[in-house]
Amino acid sequence: MKRRFLLLSFLLSMAAAHSVAQTLCNYDFNSYTLGNLSTDFTGTTPGQGGWYMYSPQNNSANKVQVVADPTNSADYVIKLIGGTGNTNHRWAWSDCVTTNYGLLGTNDSVIIGRYQFYMDASNNTSTNRFGLAFYDFTVSTVLAGAFVQYSTGNLYLLGYANAGTPAALGTYYFNTGVVLSKNTWYEMVVIFNKNTGRFQGGYYNTTTSSWDIYYADGAAAGTQVYESDFIGFLNSSTTTSNGYFDNLLVYAPSLAPVTFTNFSGNREGHNNLLFWNTATESNNRGFDIQRSADGTNFTTIGTVNSLANGGNSSTTLSYTYTDANVSGSVQYYRLRQVDNDGRSSLSNVIAIRDNQALSLNIVGLYPNPASNVVNLSVTAPVTTKATLLITGVEGRILTKQALTLQKGMNAQSVDISNFSAGTYLVKIIGNNGEVAVSKFVKK
């Protein structure tokens, strides 16, 4: 096992603002419904958002759920409930990598997965291991992964390598020596280089304000990544435990023509209103608006041209689109950004339901992690007075600010330069008592 610190601030910070060349997967789960992620535990039929789940020994779909964030009930996350034994694993995955892999260019040899991970303290003896893995289902092989053992907090890499004594090809764990704490959200990363087979994993260290990345030289060079899977491995556990996942972003790290800062939508009357912002644009022709009835099969329903002069901008631009041809109880949307040279990339998918009126909501927060300023995108159902609060996770108020919100989309910036490194909650409280909550990390 080799250990090193990598200066990946350029590659990894791009994902914080979603400035990535080709986004393969982008999920925050807030549009999902609380309950089982899928009704099918065999991995055959997709559930919410096109996600599959597999629980081979349990015969139950309730081991992978959409739940409220344990630290913020307004945020929805994925919960994997570990089991007992040595084979009763839990798997949750989407076909987004397989579907979008063809978008990658010939030079996109590195695939990066970023996500947030949390373990509660419900059990201190379970040896379940939770993490994210890049997977090749054609040969049933984990190519790269980062996993945390529940009982000890040890961070492991997992990948296909020539290791062991005597050396042999296989899938191996490598202990990084890092210990992560319970009841704490961590920003995690998994990296696979398909040209060399090297796999890497690590986390954002809020003490040093840097990424701690570890690597092993794998033996799967030339292999295509087909899936990015949230996994709970049993590891001969005799007791169960819980692992939580949020904000999955899988991408190839080269410069993108557009930096998205948010994409959201609401129902107003018989129409669905879509909102999105860009922080920068380069050579951008515009956006195709795509709609789906099932979250999987999308068709283009309209086009919005770039507001940037010549397709280039370094200031925030705001866009809207009204879908007046709405049918069914739920509609799914995504944006297809198109360059002037024809190259394209896809946004994350959002869902709008027929009872989803415009509400007080924080629909965008960037950058995250942040150093000096956090920028908020806030929707309001009417023009109203409101109060902005920033608190520590323990509830202590650090910032209090009066706001006037206009009906629709609002932009707000908050200075956090004097904050200590750590995790914070930002709350918008309306005059009628309605509350919108989000969280961010100060580097």
pLDDT band at 104 (very low <50, low <70, confident <90, very high): low
Residue 350 pLDDT: 82
| Residue 80 · residue 58 · CB < 8 Å | no
| Residue 204 · residue 5 · CB < 8 Å | no
Q: What angle do CA 365, 111, 137 make, to 5 degrees?
A: 115
Residue 313 pLDDT: 82
Q: Which tokens belong to 396?
A: 């202590």
Of 193, 272, 184, 257, nearest to 225 (Cα)?
A: 193
Residue 102 pLDDT: 66
**What is the rounded (10 degree) CA torsion for 129, 76, 263, 97?**
30
* Alpha carbons 250 and 135: distance in angstroms, whole number: 13
Exposure letters 406-418 (e unless 16+ CB within 10 A, then b): eebbbebebebee
Most confident of 17-21, 161-165, 306-310: 306-310
pLDDT digits (tens, 9 = 90+) for 374-383: 888 888 888 8
Q: What is the mean pLDDT of residues 172-176?
A: 91
Query: What is the percentage of the chain residues whose pLDDT exceeds 90?
Result: 27
pLDDT digits (tens, 9 = 90+) for 27-38: 889 889 999 999
Q: Which residue has the tokens 């040093």?
A: 208
Among 42-51, 314-323, 396-405, 415-424, name the one with the lowest average pLDDT: 314-323
Of 292, 349, 341, 285, nearest to 311 (Cα)?
A: 285
DSSP H helical segments within 264-418, as ranges? Answer: none
Beta-ladder partners of 84: none
Residue 110 pLDDT: 83
pLDDT digits (tens, 9 = 90+) for 64-89: 999 999 998 888 999 998 876 655 67
Residue 185 pLDDT: 93
Amino acid at 174: F
* Alpha carbons 56 and 132: distance in angstroms, whole number: 18
Instruction: For the chain, list the domains and their CATH numbers.
Output: 2-252 (2.60.120.200), 257-357 (2.60.40.10), 359-443 (2.60.40.1930)
**Distance linking the first and last C-alpha atoms of the chain:** 28
* Alpha carbons 140 and 120: distance in angstroms, whole number: 30
pLDDT digits (tens, 9 = 90+) for 180-233: 999 999 999 998 988 888 899 999 888 876 778 888 888 888 787 877 888 776
| Residue 210 · residue 84 · CB < 8 Å | no
What Rg do the C-alpha atoms of the chain give, in angstroms? 21
State whether residue 5 is helix, strand or coil: coil
| Residue 432 · residue 381 · CB < 8 Å | no
Q: What is the mean pLDDT of residues 275-294?
A: 87
Q: What is the mean pLDDT of residues 358-387?
A: 82
pLDDT band at 46 (very low <50, low <70, confident <90, very high): very high
> Model's pTM, two decimal places?
0.59
Residue 443 pLDDT: 82
State whether residue 45 is helix, strand or coil: coil
Q: What is the mean pLDDT of residues 426-442?
A: 85
Residue 70 pLDDT: 92
Residue 155 pLDDT: 95
Of 373, 397, 391, nearest to 439 (Cα)?
A: 391
| Residue 299 · residue 336 · CB < 8 Å | no
* Alpha carbons 61 and 84: distance in angstroms, whole number: 16
- Residue 256: pLDDT over 70: no
Of 269, 327, 337, nearest to 22 (Cα)?
A: 337
Among 77-81, 136-140, 421-425, name the one with the lowest average pLDDT: 136-140
| Residue 182 · residue 153 · CB < 8 Å | yes
Residue 35 pLDDT: 95
